[in-house]
Chains A and B, each alone.
Chain A
Amino acid sequence: MAIKVGMEVSVAMGEMVKLASADVIAAYPITPQTHIVEHLAELVADGELDAEFIAVESEHSAMSACLGSAAVGARTFTASAGQGLELMHEVLYVASAMRLPIVMAVANRALSAPLSVWGDHSDVMAVRDTGWIQMFTENGQEVVDNTLCAFRIAEHPRVLLPLMVHLDGFHLSHMIEPLLLPEQSEVDRFLPPNSYPLSLDPARPVTMGDFAPPVIYTETKWAQEVNLRASKEVILDCWKEFGDAFGRYYSPVESYHSEGARVLLLTMGSFSETAMLAVDSLRSQGVDVGLVRLRLWRPFPFDELRQAVKEAEVLIVLDRALSVGGPGGPVCSEVKAALYQVEPRPKVVSFVGGLGGRDITVSGFEEIIKRGMDIAEKGSASEFEMFGVRE
C-alpha cells in the first residue's frame, strides 16, 4: 500500500532514489537542485540509504564520477540544473554514447547571463542533442513515479541509456504537495536489480571508450540513433506496467480536452497545470480549445504528437526557452518539423515566455491562446512572439 505524505517534491525525489537503493550519488550543489541532493546526503549520513555520496568539486566531475560508477555496474544517480548542466555538457554525450545508464534529475533553470537561479527550459534545450532519454514532469506525483520508472528504463538491457527527469526549478522542485510514495516491497517488485552486462571487472576485462577513426565513427552514431529511438518501446512498456501496478498511467504526449478541439495549446512541465485552468475557463466561455502536453522529449514522440494534433486547425506552442536569433521556441520548431510532412496540419504559432522564473498565470495563458488564434487568422510578420515582454 502506498503511503500518503505531504512532502517537498525534491525531498520526495530523494526518497525515491533511496527506495531504488542507488549505490552511488555524485553531485555538486546548484540552485534549485540542492534540496534533492541535500536530502540524499542526509539519508546516507543517517544510514537510511546504503550508498556512496561523492561530494564532487564540480558538475563536470559529478557526471564524470557517474560515468565511472555506472561503468563498474553500480546504480548511479545525480542531479543538476542550469549552469551545472552546462558544465557537464561534454560529459553528457559520453554517458549516452558509451551507454551508461545514469539517472539524473534536472531542476530546470535559466542560463546566465544575467545570472538567474529561477526556472525555465534553457538548460533542457542546451542538452537536447546529448543522446539522453528526457522526460518532463508536471507535478510532484509525476516526479515520484518517473524517478522510479527512470531507473527501470535506463537500466533495461535493451536500453542502457542515461535518462534525465526534468522538473521545473522552484515551480515544481520546491513545492510541498500531497504525494503517494510506494512501499519498499512495491518498488522491489517493479524495479529489478541493475544488471549492466559489460561492466569493468578484472574477471572479464573489457576496453571501453576507444577512439573511432572515420571508417567507423558514422556507424557508432547510427547505432546510437537506432538505440535511442528503440528505447521508446521500453518506455511505453514501463509506463504501462507502472500503471497496472500503481494505477497511474503515463504517455509520451498527454491531452486535456483536446479531442476534436479546433485550437490546441502545447506546453511542457509544470506550467501545463496552469494552462489546464485557462483551457477550462475559455471552454466555459465557448472557446473551442484543448491542451496537449509534451512529456517525452527524447526520443521525440513523432507519431503520438501527430495523432494528438491531427484534428486541430491551430496549434499554439509555448516554449520556456529562446533560440536566440533562430526560430524562437526550440520545442515549437521541432513540432513544426514533425508536422511539416503531414496533411492536413494545423497552423502553428510560437510563443516564448516564462523565462528566468517569470510566472504565467491563468489569465496569461488565456491571453496567449487568444493572441495565438488571432495570429493564426491574420498572420504575423515575426517568427514568434515573446509573451509578457516589456519593450
Chain B
Amino acid sequence: MDKQTVYIPRLASTKERFAPGHRACIGCGEALAVRLVCKALGDNVIIANATGCMEIVSSQLPYTSWTVPWIHTLFENTAAVASGMESGLKAMNRKGVKSLPGVKVVAMAGDGGTSDIGLQALSGALERGHNFLYVCFDNEAYMNTGIQRSSSTPYGASTTTSPAGKVSVGKFSWKKNMPAIAVAHNVPYVATASPSYFKDLFSKVKKAVAVNGPAYLHVLSVCPVGWRSAPELSVRMGRLAVQTGMFPLYEVENGKYKLSMDLPKLRPVADYLKLQGRFRHLTQDMIQEIQRRVNEEYAKLKEKAA
C-alpha cells in the first residue's frame, strides 16, 4: 500500500465532485481528503456539511465547488441535519411523495464539529440508527478560526489556545479517541482512513456507503498551516502519522476490529513530530512520553484486532 503514488486516484474516477477553484490553502490535506472521499461516494448522495474550513473554502456566495447536492446550516448540528434528510427521504420514498431511491446521506465535519461541539448531535444520530455516513475530517484543531485546540488536538501540540510556554507543554491532554466513541454506539461500521492511502480510503468509503445504518469514518487531514509543516509534505506527513502509529488505520465492522495495515515495527514518533512546528518545543522526555503512549495504544489496538 505504501508504494502507491498520489496519482492513483485518477485510476478510480476522473470525475470531480468537489470541483477545483475552491480556496483551500496550499498543501491542504483536508481538501485532498474531501476530494477523494467524493470520488468514492459517487453521484447518488446528498451532503450535509458543518461550518468549518471546507464549508468556507467551497461555498462563498454566489459560487460553489459542489457538483452534488450539498447543504450547510450550522457548526454543531450536521448529524442532526443528516438525520432529518435521511428521515425525509425515507418517508417520501415510502409514501410515494417522491422517488429518490438509493440516495446516501453523508455528513461531513471537522474535528471540532465532531468531537467537541457536534458530539451530542452525532451521538444522537448514531444511537437512532439513521442510514447515513458521517465523515470527520480531522486536522487536529480549529484551523478555520486560527489554530485553536480541540479535544482532537494531540498531546503537546502548541496551538493558539494551548500555546507552549515557560510553564505549558502545549496541549496538556491526550487526543480524544473519537472512533472508539463511535464504536461504543454499536454502529455497523467505523473506520479510520487517510488520503495518503487512497486505495484504503476508497474501499472504506465504499463499505461505509453500502452499510444499511450509521457508518463513521475518521479521516486524518494534514494541515500545513496549523501544524506548521511544509505544504509539499502533506501526503508524506499522512503516511508518517500512520507508520509511527500516531494515527493507525483500522476498521471496526459490527464491533470487530481489524487493522488495515500490518506494522510489525512502528517508526519512531520523532520522525513525524520533528517535521511539525507545533511540536518544536517538545523535550526529549516529552517525546519519549508520547512514544510510550503510542506504543501502549497500538498494542491495545492490536489486541482488539487479534
Contacts and interface: CB of A to CB of B under 8 A. Distances in A.
A211 B124 contact: no
B199 to A, nearest CB: 25
Contacts of A109: none
Interface residues of B, number: 50
B87 A24 contact: yes
A176 interface: no
Contacts of B24: none
A68 B88 contact: yes
A90 B45 CA distance: 27
Interface in B53-92: 55-56, 59-64, 66-74, 76-77, 79-92
A71 B85 contact: yes
Contacts of A66: 84
Interface stretch (A49-57, A167-175, A268-276, A295-303): A49-57
Interface string A49-87: 011101111101110111111111111100000000000
Contact of B87 (A52, A90, A193): A52
A238 B172 CA distance: 60
B24 to A, nearest CB: 15
A57 B120 contact: yes
Contacts of B45: 202
Nearest to B123: A57
Nearest to A102: B84
B69 A206 contact: yes
A61 B91 contact: no
A201 B71 CA distance: 11
A67 B48 CA distance: 11
Interface string A208-238: 1111110010001000000000000000000
B10 interface: no
B68 A205 contact: yes
B66 to A, nearest CB: 5
Given A61-B120, A205-B70, A74 B94 contact: no
Contacts of B92: 23, 72-74
B275 interface: no
Nearest to A203: B100
A216 B62 contact: yes
A202 B99 CA distance: 11
A209 B91 contact: no
Contacts, number: 177
Contact of A64 (B55, B69, B121): B121
A69 B84 contact: yes
B124 A56 contact: yes
B160 to A, nearest CB: 22
A69 B88 contact: yes
A211 B46 contact: no
A72 B73 contact: no
Interface residues of A, number: 49
B100 A208 contact: no
Given A202-B43, A202-B45, A208-B71, A57 B87 contact: no
Nearest to A73: B98
A70 B80 CA distance: 13
Contact of B85 (A60, A68, A205): A68
A52 B98 contact: no
A282 interface: no
Given A58-B120, A61-B124, A64-B74, A200 B85 contact: yes
B265 interface: no
Contacts of B98: 73
Interface string B119-150: 01101100110000000000000000000000
Nearest to A22: B91
B74 A56 contact: no
Contacts of B43: 202
Contacts of B63: 210
A191 interface: no
* CB-CB nearest 4 A-B residue pairs: A68-B84, A74-B88, A57-B124, A65-B84
11 contacts: A26-B84, A26-B87, A57-B127, A68-B71, A69-B85, A71-B81, A200-B46, A204-B69, A206-B70, A207-B59, A210-B59
Interface of A: 21, 23-24, 26, 50-52, 54-58, 60-62, 64-76, 90-91, 94, 98, 193-194, 200-202, 204-213, 216, 220
Given A24-B84, A211-B72, 14 more contacts: A23-B95, A56-B80, A57-B124, A58-B121, A61-B80, A64-B74, A68-B83, A68-B88, A72-B46, A72-B89, A91-B73, A94-B74, A202-B46, A207-B70
